[in-house]
Amino acid sequence: MNKEVIFHMTTPFRGEYTIVGYRFGHGEPEACIIGAMRGDEFQQLYMCSQLVAKLEQIESKNGIVANKEILVIPSLNYNSMNVGKRFWVSDSTDINRSFPGNPEGPATSRIAAAVLNRVQEYRYGIQFASFYISGDFIPHVRLLDDNTESTSLANLFGMPYILTASKRSFDVTTLNYNWRQKGTSPFSVYTGTTETIDEEMANQGVSSVLRFLTRMGIVKYHLHGGYISSIVEEDDLLPIRADMPGFFRPKVAVGVDVVRGQLLAEIVDPYRGDVISRLVAPSDGVIFYHQIKPMVFQNSVVFRMIRKIHS
């Protein structure tokens, strides 16, 4: 393992700021894995730390295939993590909305430019990403719909689901979109939580990356085969909204099969304590996401479901 500096600058209030990466093997740039870009992505940073430890063990046993190189960058934004902020400390900008970046621009833009310049030659790019809304969700690999030819490769992660998504306007400023423009095959790996660490899901995320690297002939490592992934389009996820504001009391977990009419959650009056609404499943399906905040606003999305289509 070799530790290298990806980016370095001096900040006005917090001194030296250095982004580091850990390189395994030598030769063709095969796979790059990037972790936390935001200050609340503890699960993503944790998974990178575990992946670094695993790859160090694999390399010590000559498990990195000859002429193959892997780069892991655990964090791009530890400054914000140190002070409990989600976005960049000085101006609240989001690094993953700053690509392709500008070497002469503000801090997040300079970081984005330096990182993209370093990682753009890798054949495969993997980001441990956080879901765009706060809550728990089924572990999955996400692809933009202009990258659906990579669906067969996404299957090699062995995650329960592959989520394909239409490109949104802000996607052009993300790492994965710009990786794609440089010729890299990008994948976003999601593992259920962000602000807390879920050991079981973290292990699943790390194993999925090692499974992909093994199946692509980059490392030699033995582990179980994972799942046969189901492909779901993001636009087909059924949103279920709260019809009243109040305390949110979920009755089902993500990944659970539900039937039409089944109780999903209760909403409790925050002053009187009585149940003022009961949310039920509008159809048979699987719970893909549910929010985890203790209170909900009226009309906010509290569940997303994968509907089952009966023949």
Length of the chain (residues): 311
Radius of gyration of the chain (CA): 20
> What was the pLDDT predicted at 2?
96
103 or 169, which is more confident? 103
Strand-pair partners of 32: 71, 125
Measured distance CA(156)–CA(43) in Å, rounded = 22
Instruction: Please state, as a whole number, how many other Cβ atoms lie within 10 Å of the Cβ of residue 236.
Output: 12
> What was the pLDDT predicted at 311?
44
Measured distance CA(246)–CA(34) in Å, rounded = 38
pLDDT in tens, 86-132: 999 989 999 999 999 999 999 999 999 999 999 999 999 999 998 77
> What was the pLDDT predicted at 220?
96
> What was the pLDDT predicted at 147?
67
The CATH code belonging to domain 237-307 is 2.40.50.100
In the chain, CATH 2.40.50.100 sits at: 237-307
Measured distance CA(263)–CA(251) in Å, rounded = 7
User: What is the arithmetic mean of pLDDT over 159-176?
Assistant: 92
What's the topology of domain 2-233? Aminopeptidase (3.40.630)
**With 90 as the cut, is the pLDDT of residue 167 above it?**
no
Measured distance CA(242)–CA(293) in Å, rounded = 13
In the chain, CATH 3.40.630.10 sits at: 2-233
Q: Is 105 within 8 Å of 86 (Cβ atoms)?
A: no
> What was the pLDDT predicted at 310?
59
Return mean pLDDT, the chain: 94
DSSP 251-299: -S-TT-EE-TT-EEEEEE-TTT--EEEEEE-SSSEEEEEE--SSEE-TT
Sheet strands (E) in 99-184? 124-128, 136-137, 140-144, 161-165
**With 50 as the cut, is the pLDDT of residue 272 above it?**
yes
Structure tokens at 5: 């500096």
